[in-house]
């Protein structure tokens, strides 16, 4: 089965404020506040303008983070992406 692809929120839809160990995200579309921890803010930042799936995301994140050869990065990212979609912070493309 192909990896589902996701689309980032439009520019200006989210206001992201790191608060120590948590990151508060205000979604201007739903007026909801989301509180997330790592790696959610990093994933949102790496999403970019084009659609992407867990494979592409893993490649992008690997440029900035050392995954140390771990082989479960993709399934973990796929799970996090589906959680972000459930929160409405990313959308299924």
Partner 1 sequence: MRHSTRIAVGPVQFRIGSDWPEPITALEQLYASYPKDDARSADATVRLLAARPWRRWVRPSVHIGGDFVVPDALPLPLSMGLLAAEMGMNLQVALGWRRHMLLHASAVARDGRALIMSGESGSGKSTLAALLGEGDWRLMGDEFTLIEPEGGNALAFPRAVSLKNEAIAEVAARVDAARLGPLIASTPKGDIRHLIPRADAIADMHEPARPALLLFPRFGGNAAIEPMGEGETFVRLTEASTNYVALGEVGFAALTRLVRETPAFGVSYPDSATGIALVEQLWAETK
Interacting residues with partner 1 (CB under 8 A): 15, 17, 19-22, 24, 26, 28, 31, 33, 35
Look at residue 7 and give its three-state secondary structure.
strand
CA separation for the pair 51, 41 (Å, rounded): 17
| Minimum separation from the CB atom of position 28 to partner 1 (A) | 6
Degrees to nearest 5, angle at CA 77 with 74 and 82: 125
At its nearest, how many Å lie between partner 1 and the CB of residue 35?
7
| Identity of the residue, 32 or 62, whose beta carbon is nearer to partner 1 in the bound complex | 32
Q: How far apart are CA 14 and CA 71, in angstroms?
A: 31
CB of 77 to partner 1, least distance (A): 23
Cβ closest to partner 1, residue 3 vs residue 26: 26
Q: Among all chains, which residue has been given the structure tokens 């799970």?
A: 79
């Amino acid at each position: 089965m192909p990896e589902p692809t996701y689309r980032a929120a439009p520019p200006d839809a989210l206001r992201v404020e790191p608060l120590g160990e948590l990151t508060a995200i205000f979604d201007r579309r739903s007026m909801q506040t989301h509180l997330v921890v790592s790696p959610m803010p990093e994933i949102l930042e790496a999403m970019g303008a084009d659609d992407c799936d867990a494979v592409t995301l893993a490649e992008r994140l690997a440029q900035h983070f050392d995954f140390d050869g771990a082989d479960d990065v993709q399934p973990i990212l796929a799970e996090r992406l589906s959680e972000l979609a459930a929160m409405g912070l990313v959308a299924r493309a």
